Amino acid sequence: MRPDHTLRLENVTIGELEQVSLTIASAEVVCLSGISGSGKSRLLRAVADLEDHGGRVFLGDIEQSQIAAHEWRRRVMLVPSESQWWSERVGDHFPDKAEVSGLSELGFDRQVMAWSVSRLSSGEKQRLALLRALAAAPQALLLDEPTANLDPETTETVERWLGSEIRERNMPVIWVAHDAGQIRRLADRAFYLNGHVLEAR
Amino acid sequence: MEVIDLAWWKLALAAVLLLLLALCSHLSRLGITRSLLIAGTRTAVQLFLIGLILEALFAAADLVWIVLMAFVMLLVAGREVMARQERRLSGGWAFGIGTGAMFLSSFTVTILTLTVVIGPQPWYSPQYAIPLLGMMLGNTMTGVALSLDRLTESVWRQRAVIENRLMMGQTWREAVGDIRRDAMRGGMIPSINAMAAAGIVSLPGMMTGQILAGSPPAVAVKYQILVMFTITVGTGFGALMAVSVGSRRLFDTRERLRLDRLV
C-alpha cells in the first residue's frame, strides 16, 4: 500500500484569510487563483510554516507542530514564484548526492550543474527551482506560479513533466495559477480566493 | 627618564592650530567647521573630566569605586553599540546582546590579564585596570557594533534568500550560516588588520603615548603586544557571542525568519 500523504488544512488563519479548511488527496492537484493581495502566497507560507498562523495542518497523520520545522518544510516543499540562488554554481543548490531526475525532460543536461547562476535566465531559474525542489524528495508540493516566466510551449512541457512526477510520487499539490487554460489542464479541483473567502470553481 | 609635563601654553598652541584649520575649512566652505569645533571642544572637556575622575580614583584605589566606574564605561559602550546599528533588534535586545557580549569578553580578558599577566598589587590597581579595560571596551565595542550591524543589515537585505533556503528544508543555522560567518569576520577584521600593520605602517597610539611619557621603547613594545593580543581576543569573543545570540533571536522556535523583531 502506498503511504498516505493527504494534506489537510483545518481552519488555517493567516492575515486577512480566515478559517481555511481544505483536504488535498495524494496525487491531487488543487489550483488556487485570485487577484494579487488576496492572500494566496501567504496561505502557502502558512502551510509551509514560514509564518505564524492559526489552525492546524496535517500531512498524512503527522501534524505540522509535531516535527521539526525544517523537516516539515522538506516534506511540504514550497517553491516560490521568484526562486533565489545564493551560491556560485547551480549544483551547489541541489541536495548532496541527490538523484536529480527530469533534467532532460526540462531541456537541460548534466552540464547545467557546473553553470554559474549569474548566466541563468528567469525561465531557466524557474525550471531549475522545480528540479531542485523535487530532488529533495518532498511528499507534498506548494507551487506559487511555477510557470510565470515561461513561454507557452515550455509551460506545457513543464506541466506534462510535473503532472507525471506528481502521480508517480503520489504528492498532494496546491498550485497557484492565473491562466484559465492552465487551470483547466491541471486542476482536479479549483478554488478562487474572493474577499478572503475560498470559493470553489 | 623624566616625564616632561606639558605646559598649558603649549596645549593652547595646539588649540590655536585647530582653530586655524577650522578657519580654513570655513573659508573653503567644506561644511565641517561646526562639527570640527564641537568635536574639539568635546575632546578637551571629556578628557579633562576623565582626568579628574582618574586622579580621584587613583588616590582612593577602592575596589567599589573602580567597579562602579567599570560599569558606567560598560553601559556607555552598550548604548554606543546600539546606536551604531542601522537596523537593530527591538525590545532591549540590541542593548542587551551588545552589553552582555562586551561584559563577558572585555571583563574576563581584562581581569585575566590583570591577575595572571601583569600582576599589580592589588590586582585592581586603577592605574592598570581602568586604562586596560577602557582599551578593551573601546575596541570590543567597535567589533561588536560592526558585526551586529553587518548581521542585521545582511539578514534584512537577503531575507528572500534566507526564506528560500528554509523552504528547501535547511535549518535556520544553515540558512543564515554565510551571513553569520561574514558578520563575525566583519567584526574581527579591524583588529586583525591592526595587528598585521602594527609598527610598520604606524606606531600604535598607546605605545606612542607611553614613549612620549618617558617609558623605554622596549617596555612600551611589550605592553603594546600584550594590549593588541588581549584586544583581539576580547573583540573576537565579543563578536562571536553577539552574532550567535543575535542570529538566534532573528528566528523563532519554528525556525521562521522574524524580521518583525528588527526596528
Decide: helix, strand or coil at residue B34: helix
Of B167, B178, B252, Cβ closest to residue A73: B167
**What are the residue ranges in chain A where pLDDT is below 50?**
none
Question: Residue type for B64, please?
Answer: V
pLDDT band at B90 (very low <50, low <70, confident <90, very high): very high
Provide the β-strand partners of residue A9.
A22, A57
pLDDT band at B2 (very low <50, low <70, confident <90, very high): low
Residue B148 predicted with pLDDT over 50: yes
Per-residue pLDDT, A1: 58
Q: How far is CA B154 from CA A78, A118, A144, B159, B227, in A?
A: 23, 20, 25, 8, 31
Inter-chain touch B170–A70, beta carbons under 8 Å: yes
In a domain, A102, yes or no: yes
In a domain, A2, yes or no: no
In a domain, A113, yes or no: yes
Residues of B in contact with A73 (CB under 8 A): 166-169
Count interface pairs A-B at CB distance under 8 A: 59
Of B160, B164, B171, Cβ closest to residue A70: B171
Per-residue pLDDT, B1: 47
Domain with A196, as residue range(s), is: 7-200
Of B161, B166, B170, Cβ closest to residue A50: B166
Q: How do residues B24-79 score in pLDDT, each as one tens digit?
A: 999 999 888 999 999 999 999 999 998 999 899 989 889 999 999 999 999 999 99
Q: How do residues B6-27 score in pLDDT, each as one tens digit?
A: 888 989 999 999 999 999 999 9
Q: What is the largest CA-CA distance in chain A?
A: 46
pLDDT, average across residues B128-139: 91
In a domain, A153, yes or no: yes
Residues of B in contact with A69 (CB under 8 A): 166, 254-256
**Count: domains in chain A:** 1
pLDDT band at B107 (very low <50, low <70, confident <90, very high): very high
Prediction ipTM score: 0.95
Per-residue pLDDT, A96: 84
- Over pLDDT 90: what percentage of chain B? 74
Give the integer Cα–Cα distance in Å for B215 and B6: 16
Shortest CA distance to B227 belongs to which of B164, B157, B134?
B134
In a domain, A89, yes or no: yes
Per-residue pLDDT, B141: 94
Question: Residue type for B88, please?
Answer: R
In a domain, A98, yes or no: yes
Inter-chain touch A74–B169, beta carbons under 8 Å: yes
Inter-chain touch A80–B164, beta carbons under 8 Å: yes
- Over pLDDT 70: what percentage of chain B? 99
Could you give the residue ranges of the DSSP H alpha helices within chain A? 40-47, 69-75, 122-135, 152-169, 180-186
Q: How do residues B203-261 score in pLDDT, each as one tens digit?
A: 788 888 888 888 899 998 998 898 889 999 999 999 999 999 999 999 999 999 999 99
Inter-chain touch A86–B178, beta carbons under 8 Å: yes
CATH for A78: 3.40.50.300
In a domain, A36, yes or no: yes
